[in-house]
Structure 1
Amino acid sequence: MTVISTDKNPEALSLTLVAEFDAGVERVWQLFEDPRQLERWWGPPTYPATFYRHEFVPGGAAKYYMTGPEGQKAHGWWEFTSIDAPRQLEFNDGFADSDGNPTGELGISHATVDLESLGQRTRMTIQSTFESEEQLEQIMAMGMEEGLKQAVGQIDSILAQHANA
């Protein structure tokens, strides 16, 4: 299993996930940089993501939706606030309407993704920070922690397919 740990910290208003992969930092970075690879793992297996906008530059936007088992769509947006390839990226994250416009529903969270080289392996740390304890609890109640673990758990197979290609 790629996910090493998750830690929900109500005092810091954060959720942190740590995972390790059998691939170098540059290869793992591509999983964020390339929207076709990103949508292969962003979202749990039963809610796959489709990115229809992906401006991977500071100030750029990503717009996507996740499609549920019954065909329902949950829309989201990112605003990239910092990109330091291939080591770190930061983005604001929230819910969107069907046109990709932020709704303000459940507020905004801020994600920081750090990639650390462990020789031929990479440690990825994703930390999401929330505006309030209420927002953190609402997002957790929607299944974010388990969904993120399932989503990141799909990365190994993507990396293995690339290595054998």
Structure 2
Amino acid sequence: MPVTSVTTDPEALTMTLVGDFAAPVERLWRAFTEPAQLERFWGPPGWPATFTAFDLTPGGRAQYQMTSPQGEVSRGGWEFIAVDEPRRFEVLDSFLNGDGEVLEGTPTMRVEFLFEGTAEGSRLTNITYFDSLDALEQIVEFGAVEGSTLAINQLDAVLQGLREHAQGTGTRTEILSDTHVRITRLIDGPRELVWRAHTEPELMKKWLLGPDGWRMTVCEIDPTVGGRYQYEWTPDDGVEGEAFGFDGETLVSEAPKRAVTTEHMTGTDFPPTLNDLSLYEEDGATLITVLIEYPDKDTRDMVLATGMTDGMETSYARLERELLPA
């Protein structure tokens, strides 16, 4: 993991994050100063950021919002104080309300982003300065240490580039916590088509089949917020297994880049999972990321033990084979 330390100093009223990366300083600088790249990691898993403004000049402003899987929105903004490319920039960092004003009852912090070369690549030192001990303790209570660590630890994939990072690796499963798993798969095709493959029944029936010998007999989708879906699979004659299905509701829909749905096994009293699908395109390839939230560790382990990753890989390979031009 690139983050090597996150420390707080109550006497100096600071919080300092240090991360080391196998990339040159100039590349690290671009990741923090180009909104399309910032959006890929500025926000912990499940809270991706969308930047609505970004003026990298002294006196300029940046604004962004992060949206949870349940549709909750947290807004923030920077006022750039100093910019010294590619070594340093400094901002006033604030929580914002829906009107773009500083959110009442929250602190404004001065934050330095420092970039320096190392023998292995580059180092980020991120220092947040607080006006009071109460402000520092409030931000720590918000989960800043854990959240910033999870966010910056996503940066390696951005610095490498999609194809170098993920091509040829197939479907990958990462256990992030007792209740969170991240699934990733690179599809060598455009995001628009991959989005349609997840939201249009006639396309979904061609690829979301799992192992050979199964067919999708029910595929009903309303991809709008509050809409519901119903899927059912049935084995072909001579194939072992019983028909099963899933149903759920769409909680977030941001075409063509993000959809969050609940997932419940039809006809059971199993608790639902929360599936957060995001799509990112770079150089004609699309990275599929599915962040799954389980109700508990036992449910997580039970689902993973079914061979879910292998089944998803079979389906994603079929998506490439059936829907993408040769």
TM-score (norm 2): 0.49
Alignment CA distance shift 1:105-1:163 (3 Å)? farther
Task: Show the counterpart of 2:265.
Answer: none
How far residue 152 of structure 1 moved from its aligned partner, in angstroms, is 0.4
CA root-mean-square deviation = 1.3
> How far does the alpha carbon of each residue in 1:57-80 deviate from its partner, in whole angstroms, 9 at most, with x for none?
111000111111211101111001
Alignment partner of 1:35 is 2:35: yes
Is the CA contact 1:94–1:104 (under 8 Å) kept in the aligned structure 2? no
Distance 1:98 1:104 in 2: 12
Alignment CA distance shift 1:23-1:162 (3 Å)? farther
SS at match of 2:149: helix
Distance 2:78 2:14 in 1: 17
How far residue 105 of structure 1 moved from its aligned partner, in angstroms, is 2.9
How far residue 163 of structure 1 moved from its aligned partner, in angstroms, is 7.6
Task: Show the counterpart of 1:122.
Answer: 122
Task: Show the counterpart of 2:91.
Answer: 91
The structure with more radius of gyration: 2
How far residue 119 of structure 1 moved from its aligned partner, in angstroms, is 3.8
SS at match of 1:94: strand
Task: Show the counterpart of 1:70.
Answer: 70
How far residue 104 of structure 1 moved from its aligned partner, in angstroms, is 4.1
- The amino acid that maps onto 1:117 is G
Task: Show the counterpart of 2:322.
Answer: none
Count of residues paired in the alignment:
165
Distance 1:32 1:136 in 2: 24
How far residue 6 of structure 1 moved from its aligned partner, in angstroms, is 1.0
Task: Show the counterpart of 2:46.
Answer: 46
Equivalent runs, 1:101-116 vs 2, <5 Å: 101-116=101-116
SS at match of 2:42: coil
Task: Show the counterpart of 2:11.
Answer: 11
Is the CA contact 1:77–1:101 (under 8 Å) kept in the aligned structure 2? no
Distance 1:116 1:162 in 2: 24
Distance 2:69 2:11 in 1: 34
> How far does the alpha carbon of each residue in 1:98-128 deviate from its partner, in whole angstroms, 9 at most, with x for none?
1322224312101101101014500100000
Distance 2:131 2:46 in 1: 28
How far residue 46 of structure 1 moved from its aligned partner, in angstroms, is 1.4
Distance 1:105 1:93 in 2: 14
Report which stretch shifted further, 101-110 or 58-67. 101-110
Distance 2:32 2:105 in 1: 25
- The amino acid that maps onto 2:92 is N
Task: Show the counterpart of 1:55.
Answer: 55
> How far does the alpha carbon of each residue in 1:66-97 deviate from its partner, in whole angstroms, 9 at most, with x for none?
11121110111100100100000100001111
Distance 2:163 2:14 in 1: 34
Report which stretch shifted further, 36-45 or 97-106. 97-106
- The amino acid that maps onto 2:7 is D
- The amino acid that maps onto 2:29 is W
Distance 2:17 2:163 in 1: 24
